[in-house]
Amino acid sequence: MRKHTEEQPFKCKICEKMFTWYNQLNIHMRIHTGEKPFKCEVCEKMFTQNSNLTTHMRKHTGEQSFKCEVCEKMFTRHDHLKIHVRIHTGEKPFKCEVCEKMFSYKSSLKMHMRIHTGEKPFKCEVCEKMFTQKPNLTTHMRKHTGKESFKCEVCEKMFTRYDHLKIHMRIHTGERPFNCEVCKKMFTQNSNLTMHMRNHTGEQSFKCEVCEKWFSSNANLKIHMRIHTGKQPFKCEVCDKMFTQDCNLKKHMRLHTGEKPFKCEICEKMFTWYDNLKIHMRIHTGEKPFKCEVCEKMLTSNRGLKEHMRVHAGEKLFKCEVCEKIFTHNGTFKRHMSVHPGEKTLNV
């Protein structure tokens, strides 16, 4: 009758938890006493209940008695199957009381709560950096050990994490699976799409305390601050030129290595920069997105438009030192200089 009346007459004297049956209390007490009377004969692991030992033994026997009716995946435990089924049903029974976000797993909610509490229980013994999850600490430790387990089969670059290798591979495949629904721009990473969307929403949450300029991401704010501090932490080992961003240094290095990673699929011409390939493609497509507001002439690049505007402004910036002829466009000047080999430009 206690099942119906919900009577719980048995109380734990240590934590005051209540139980319907005495044997439940008896099993519960093993939490406090540390008693584990049931032993696995294979690996000698100890358990508080015989039922837990029975479930554990399936790991050694390979028995999988519980089958998912949707994808036919097998499980050793019914509770594992029950959790798995949420992938198919989309059920999210665990709710964050702070932000109301829903989760499929209690463990996911527990980790999420650390965002609100600030709890970081996993500590690196080398640099004392704290982490919310143990897998993040494990990955972090590879920085100290130098262990790089994941290799790109194309360029042989090594990575400490498989997900970083997976993202890197998109450089070689050209895959950009994340699509902006507003302007259709494609991205290799979801995080880049999230930051990009702020351009459309106008969201700017990060403020520079020096000039009060706002930024859509903390990373952009940090880079911007180098304008005020003059910090250029990235140095070219060849020519000693300094850069504010690592990506700019990497692009710059192509000038020294001669690397041209961007290829036109139509004429197979190679380019050092992606922007140059993009402009080049307009030769094939005939696209001319830049319009002169004076004569309405259409140009393939913004640089071409700027040079063209000198015609209307009467600017002539390139002077031949030999014959003193002056040119508006750098390209026209260079072609002229072939008449006088060895001479250099004179900007006026």
Q: Does residue 337 surpass a pLDDT of 70? A: yes
In sequence order, the 6+-apart residues with CB closer than 8 A to the CB of 234 are 242, 243, 244, 245, 246, 248, 249
**pLDDT tier at 186 (50, 70, 90 boundaries)?**
very high
For the chain, list the domains and their CATH numbers: 1-31 (3.30.160), 36-84 (3.30.160.60), 178-259 (3.30.160.60), 316-348 (no CATH)
Per-residue pLDDT reduced to its tens digit, 215-269: 877 888 889 999 899 999 999 999 999 998 888 999 999 999 999 999 999 999 9
Alpha-helical regions (H) of the chain: 2-5, 22-33, 50-61, 78-84, 86-89, 106-117, 134-145, 162-173, 190-201, 218-229, 246-257, 274-285, 302-313, 330-337
The CA distance from 250 to 298, in Å, is 33
Q: Does residue 344 surpass a pLDDT of 60? A: no
**pLDDT tier at 347 (50, 70, 90 boundaries)?**
very low
Q: Which helix (H) or strand (E) holds 262?
A: strand 262-263
Is the Cα dihedral 253, 258, 260, 261 positive or negative?
negative
What pLDDT is recorded for position 345?
46
What pLDDT is recorded for position 269?
92
Q: Does residue 21 surpass a pLDDT of 90? A: no
What pLDDT is recorded for position 240?
92
Q: Minimum mean pLDDT among 57-61, 91-95, 128-132, 265-269: which range? A: 57-61
Q: Does residue 65 surpass a pLDDT of 80? A: no
Q: Which helix (H) or strand (E) holds 19?
A: strand 18-19
Return the percentage of the chain with pLDDT > 70, whole number: 96
